Structure 1
Amino acid sequence: MLKRIKNPDVARALTNIVWLGLERLTQIAVAIGISGLLARYFGPDVFGKWQYANTLLLVIAPVTWVCGAEILVPTIVHRDPRQIGTVLGSAFVLRIGISAAALVLTWIGVAAGFTDPLVGAMLAGLAVTMLFREPFVGVINAWLQSMTYSKPQLLTSMVTAILKAALVFLLVRAAANPARFGWLWALESAAIGGVLVVYYMRRNGGTLGWRLDWPLFKHFASAGTVFWLGLICMSLFMKLDRLMLERHVSFAHLGVYSAAQQLNENWIALALMLAQTIAPAFVYKVNDAPQLKRNIVRLFAMTALLMIGGAIVLDLLAAFIISHVFGLAYKDSIDIFRWAVWLSLPAGIEAIGNLVVLKYQAKFVLLAKWLLALVVAAIVNLIAIPRMGSYGALAGLAAGYLAAASVNLYYIRFRLQA
């Protein structure tokens, strides 16, 4: 055990996991605090509109995920360190162009009145995050992930999250218009991007050193297309519950459902962050099939234990958490939350299995998987939501995650067979 801990890759991964845990705890605490403040200040109806605006953003934002981490991180890992500036620069130019276009089109849609006026006003500010998240934060974070050293990004996220919570509190005390709150998220993303750019420049001799290489730019644009479509399907699947539920319930009921899911998604994000931080050391860099298979089995077991343990605790504390965070107006969120937290188990298993798909760049497997999950969830939602309401939406998510995890397990068995 001591020899393993002294291994540089293992030591970096353990340190990364510690920082990941601290960042997740901070984000969960901040999310709980902000959700509680906004839910009480807005009330269920306006809070439902706020959550719907966030849902629309998270459906639009995947358009900016072209040349995602699944392409960029392995490219950085296998490239000569002297070529990193070219890799990051080419990815940045591609992402900033797509992000700017997505932002302009979103604003045009808001101005054209394609959604509720208050939802549109909230979305207008939230959408600015697209201009900073993927072009700046995403590119530099991919570089950090390739070194299994996410501390700068995690620390920055923690500090800005706390500052954002303080600003939300001040706006609530000032009785600010609900439409103004979205701009705080834009400010947060800009701050994180700025700090990471400064950090990168300090590590790079005081210069950014990013250069555009047209062949690499074209490669990122073409090689990542199938992955990109797959990730769009993934994001749409994860928000399909609220998109379809909104057609059958009031914004007030959607606010009650979203209150539970707001907390639950921060918990599920732990599985995704855990997978991202350990991928370079324990999956991407391992070429021996038997060793990789052993690593994946251990990661499955560790993730399952973590998700089950956490779900049990959150299930038991559901009434306490919901009543103290959101208040009596959201008491119907308690049972929804108790069921929702168990989605972390299939979500975590799927996230670990997905690492093998990404390692071997199985882009068509990724696309087929999330397309299947999206179709399965849509069918279940169509049948279950009219009959079961919010619980039908949870059933759709569960069915989709199980479908995606099943594809992963089949691919792992096929790819790593002895």
Structure 2
Amino acid sequence: MRARIAVNLLWMLTERGLGILVGIGVVAMLARALGPEAFAHFQYAQAIVLIASSAALICGAEIVVPRLVAMPSPADQHRLITHAALLRLAGALAGYLLIGVFLLIKQPNPDSWTTALLLGIPILCREPAGIVTAWMQSATHNRPTSIINLTALSLRLGVVVTLFVAGIAIVPAFAAAFTAEAIVAAALLLRYYRKRMPLPWPQIEWPLLRELFASGALLWVSFAFMMIIRRFDQLILESAVPTADFGAYAACMQIADNFALVASVMAAGIAPAMVYSKPRLADARRNVARLALGMGVLGLCGAATLALSASWIVHLLYGQAFAATIDLLRLTAFATSLLFIDIALSVLLAHMRRPPWFAVKWGVVLAVTIVADLVLIPRFGMLGAVAGYAISNMTALLCSATVWYLAGRHPAGRAERAVT
């Protein structure tokens, strides 16, 4: 079993690592092919879609996987999977509707309009089909998912490379590459599932739908808050600065997002053995402190490296047209290093499995982020957005540190597991 878990984790980390590398390459080609202004239109559309996609995160793997593990019967698993997929599809449709409503209200640039509608299509594919991934996770068998996702990722990369080499600078054409990736991945996942679970579709059971919705509501709200936090600054900044400046800031945040993703990958790889395996809360809390210290040092070292090599990185990835990104990256790198500590401390929250604490944390961070961005961005433009980003990350860190402190005063001395 340990060998199987290790192989499963290796596939997950490989997929995530290749995804980071391909993502960096794709963004670099997008920026170079489109230039700062058209790239800004693409990034603005992507920000709209990312926020709207949170509607499809209902009934996540955190809710489905434990139930699947406890269900030995394929028929019971199929019944649960189809109802969870139905919930996710309803959320995805609501998310796509939100995109349309926002576009009608804001009336953005035509490129952003078309691109947002294209980038929104993956919302309808990714989360509903992603229930198959949860099914594989419950069996500790992520290899097929990783292969399917990497296959679809290769398609996106191939389309983007083709457009880049051909000198095509049409924003919706690049958006179509992301849409094709999601459609192919969803089709392959569903095909894999139907071949191994050739059971008839069950009748809809409304009590089960209500139960799944209620069980995942708090986590859903938390994830929605997180999504809004990630891109709220860009929604405000787009109308506050020239388009080229917005493109420079968006390019900077792409690098910051990939830097922060390193912390997530590290935590996902280390936490099971270092924290989740500890039945006593005191032991888990102690190891979380060590993890936070180590990841904090790594984050600072990474931030210093990014700051010192910012000019080289920006010119390598984006070219001379994005020179304004250099100084922004130097500041943003250190703001992102705060996330390394926050992500490490958040492992304790995951270990304790207390959805209300997640919701409170991200609700506080969202409120602070909205206030900071609304105050700072209109006055200071891109620098205000960077300051708001730093304040948001620091707030998240302080919330996680507060949870870590309060957990030390827990009278039982061991983690309480919520019933899922």
Aligned residue identity for 2:78 = G
Q: 1:280 to 1:407 in 2, by over 3 A?
A: same
Aligned residue runs from structure 1 range 281-296, under 5 A: 286-296=278-288
Which residue matches 2:323? 331
Secondary structure of residue in 2 paired with 1:271? helix
How far did 1:332 drift? 1.2
Partner Cα distance (2:340, 2:128) in 1 = 27
Which residue matches 1:378? 370
Partner Cα distance (2:340, 2:259) in 1 = 10
Q: Deviations over 1:198-237 (max 9, x none)?
A: 44455x4x53677555433211212222222222121111
How far did 1:283 drift? 5.1
1:106 matches 2:134: no
1:228 matches 2:220: yes
Aligned residue runs from structure 1 range 5-20, under 5 A: 8-9=1-2, 11=3, 14-20=6-12
Aligned residue runs from structure 1 range 179-218, under 5 A: 179-201=172-194, 204=196, 206-207=197-198, 211=202, 213-218=205-210
Which residue matches 1:352? 344
Q: 1:152 to 1:317 in 2, by over 3 A?
A: farther
Aligned residue runs from structure 1 range 34-113, under 5 A: 34-77=26-69, 79-82=70-73, 83-107=76-100, 110=103
Q: Are the equivalent residues in 1 in contact too, given 2:33–2:169 (CA < 8 A)?
A: no
Identity across matched positions, percent:
28
Which residue matches 1:5? none
Which residue matches 1:115? 108
Aligned residue identity for 1:183 = A
- Listed as ranges, the gaps of 5+ residues in structure 1 are 1-7
Partner Cα distance (1:387, 1:101) in 2 = 34
* More divergent stretch after superposition (176-185 vs 295-304): 295-304
2:129 equivalent among 130, 136, 140: 136
Q: Are the equivalent residues in 1 in contact too, given 2:336–2:390 (CA < 8 A)?
A: no
Q: Are the equivalent residues in 1 in contact too, given 2:241–2:382 (CA < 8 A)?
A: no
Q: 1:152 to 1:290 in 2, by over 3 A?
A: farther
Secondary structure of residue in 2 paired with 1:81? coil
Partner Cα distance (1:46, 1:67) in 2 = 36
Q: 1:113 to 1:323 in 2, by over 3 A?
A: same
Q: Deviations over 1:318-347 (max 9, x none)?
A: 211210221111011112122223344322
1:300 equivalent among 263, 270, 292: 292
- Listed as ranges, the gaps of 5+ residues in structure 2 are 414-420
How far did 1:291 drift? 3.5
Partner Cα distance (1:219, 1:277) in 2 = 31
* More divergent stretch after superposition (276-285 vs 20-29): 276-285
Which residue matches 2:232? 240
Aligned residue identity for 2:185 = I
Q: Are the equivalent residues in 1 in contact too, given 2:47–2:234 (CA < 8 A)?
A: yes
Aligned residue identity for 1:46 = A
Indicate the RMSD between aligned Cα atoms, in angstroms: 2.9
Q: Are the equivalent residues in 2 in contact too, given 1:257–1:390 (CA < 8 A)?
A: yes
Partner Cα distance (2:329, 2:86) in 1 = 41
Partner Cα distance (1:192, 1:270) in 2 = 24
Aligned residue identity for 1:80 = M
Which residue matches 2:416? none
Secondary structure of residue in 1 paired with 2:239? coil
Secondary structure of residue in 2 paired with 1:272? helix
Partner Cα distance (2:255, 2:248) in 1 = 12
Q: Are the equivalent residues in 1 in contact too, given 2:48–2:99 (CA < 8 A)?
A: no
Partner Cα distance (2:142, 2:90) in 1 = 26
Which residue matches 1:255? 247
Partner Cα distance (1:302, 1:207) in 2 = 47
Q: Deviations over 1:43-97 (max 9, x none)?
A: 11111111000000011110111112333344445x2333433332221111112
Q: Are the equivalent residues in 2 in contact too, given 1:13–1:277 (CA < 8 A)?
A: no
* More divergent stretch after superposition (354-363 vs 121-130): 354-363
How far did 1:12 drift? 5.2
TM-score (norm 2): 0.85
How far did 1:355 drift? 3.6
Q: Are the equivalent residues in 1 in contact too, given 2:332–2:390 (CA < 8 A)?
A: no
* More divergent stretch after superposition (391-400 vs 15-24): 15-24
Q: 1:98 to 1:384 in 2, by over 3 A?
A: closer
Q: Deviations over 1:298-333 (max 9, x none)?
A: 433443344334333333332112102211110111
Which residue matches 2:418? none
Aligned residue identity for 1:136 = A
TM-score (norm 1): 0.86
Aligned residue runs from structure 1 range 171-186, under 5 A: 171-172=163-164, 173=166, 175=168, 177-186=170-179
Partner Cα distance (1:242, 1:361) in 2 = 32
Moved over 6 A (4+): none
Aligned residue identity for 1:61 = S
* More divergent stretch after superposition (275-284 vs 252-261): 275-284
